Amino acid sequence: MKREIFRGISVLVILMSFSFFQRDFMRKMIPDEVNGWKRREVSFYDKRNIFDYIDGAGELYISYNFRLLMSARYEKIGAPAIIVDLFDMGSSEDAFGVFTFERGEESAGIGQNSYYRGGLLTFWKSQFFVSIYAEEENEETKNAIFQIAREIENSIKEEGKLPGLINFIYDFVDKDSVKFFHDQNILNSHYFLSYENILNLGKDTNAVAGKSGKGEFVLIVSYPNEIKAKSAYRKFLSSFMPGSTKGLEKMENGKWSGIGIHKEILILVFDSQSEEECKEKIEKIKEKIEKEKGNE
């Protein structure tokens, strides 16, 4: 009993120490002042209280396993405020993933990838996802946003690795369209599939998706084991293609969709122009997976 209490206290102390050092580290990542904008209050949020700060939007970051969010407000007299949100996502894969939720086609040249639109710059580097937003967009705020971004970028010394699944999809879709995620809601936000979770997506699954130049939507999902992949395969077939034995079917819009399985990985292709194209794409992705896995 005493040993368990001691162990519990030790875990608590370690967690508190991590939190303290992590907050201190993140505080030092952002500048005190940029072009006359001075940093005001800084606040921290974790999974328990993120909804106090960004309401339902917190679900997005929780679905990507975020650990800690630091928010800082920069103010300058007579100018719009700038808000910096720095997310420690816990892993570079999830930092990349949350970035891909709203990614654009052209990189803004910050971090490992970035996107600027409408007074908002988002970028990712290592396990960090960063959002810098001006309450009103003009040249002055844009310059300040990029300067803050560069300072944060420079404070993150190492780059992070991309999710391994990316290698399986890059040859078959436009690279800029690639998304990484775990959750059913995120899939539906990119490509509405069903109100039900017909692929059994969740915390224990990794998924990449993207669009090809021909308008096909390609989805690759990795499950913890083959049993779970087979179960999801069967569920998809019975929900989306009942009666299909080949896992290939012409849809109501005249296009073809199909599903394939390779060990613990499902491969799905939607909106192909023909049965042959759909089948061929699934087979080629399977070959790619086999080849890549063989190299591991």
Partner 1 sequence: MSKGIITRRDFLKAGAGIFLGGMIFSGEKEKNLRERVILIRDKNVFKSKNDFDPKIVQKMIDEALMLLTGENDPLRAWKTILRPDDTVGIKSNVWAYMPTPKEVEEAIVKRVREVGVPSERISVDDRGVLRNKVFKEATALINVRPLRTHHWAGIGGCIKNYIMFTPTPFLLHPDSCAELGSLWQKPIVKDKTRLNILIAFRPLFHGIGPHHYSESYVWDYKGMIIGFKPATVDAVGVRLIQRKREEFFGEDKPLYVPPKHVFVAGTKYNLGETDLSKVKIEKLGWEEGILI
CB of 190 to partner 1, least distance (A): 8
CB of 1 to partner 1, least distance (A): 34
Q: How many CB atoms lie within 10 A of CB 76?
A: 17
- For residues 166 and 207, what is the distance between their CA atoms, to the nearest angstrom? 9
Q: Which is nearer to partner 1, 164 or 198 (CB)?
A: 198
Instruction: Using CB atoms within 10 Å of the CB of residue 246, give its burial: 0 to 12 exposed, 13 to 18 middle, 19+ buried.
Output: exposed
Going by the DSSP 8-state scheme, the letter that residue 173 receives in this structure is: S
Q: How many CB atoms lie within 10 A of CB 130?
A: 26
CB of 202 to partner 1, least distance (A): 12
Contacts of 26 (CB under 8 A, 6+ apart): 44, 68, 70, 86, 88
Q: Which is nearer to partner 1, 219 or 289 (CB)?
A: 219
Q: Which is nearer to partner 1, 76 or 241 (CB)?
A: 241
Q: Which is nearer to partner 1, 122 or 200 (CB)?
A: 122
Give contact residues for partner 1 (rule: CB under 8 A): 51, 54-61, 83, 85, 101-102, 117-120, 122, 131, 133, 135-137, 185, 188-189, 191-196, 198, 238-242, 251-253
Q: Which is nearer to partner 1, 221 or 289 (CB)?
A: 221
Contacts of 181 (CB under 8 A, 6+ apart): 63, 64, 97, 100, 101, 187, 190, 207, 209
Tokens of 196: 């039900």
Whether the CB-CB separation of 56 and 37 falls below 8 Å is answered with: no
CB of 197 to partner 1, least distance (A): 9
Q: Which is nearer to partner 1, 102 or 264 (CB)?
A: 102
CB of 7 to partner 1, least distance (A): 31
Whether the CB-CB separation of 134 and 123 falls below 8 Å is answered with: no
Q: Which is nearer to partner 1, 242 or 294 (CB)?
A: 242
* Residue given tokens 């990119």 in the structure block: 190
Q: Which is nearer to partner 1, 24 or 55 (CB)?
A: 55
Going by the DSSP 8-state scheme, the letter that residue 167 receives in this structure is: H
For residue 75, what are the β-bridge partners?
Answer: 38
Whether the CB-CB separation of 209 and 190 falls below 8 Å is answered with: yes
**Dihedral (Cα; 214, 217, 223, 226), 10-degree rounding:** -60
CB of 292 to partner 1, least distance (A): 29
CB of 2 to partner 1, least distance (A): 37
Tokens of 55: 């309401």
CB of 103 to partner 1, least distance (A): 11
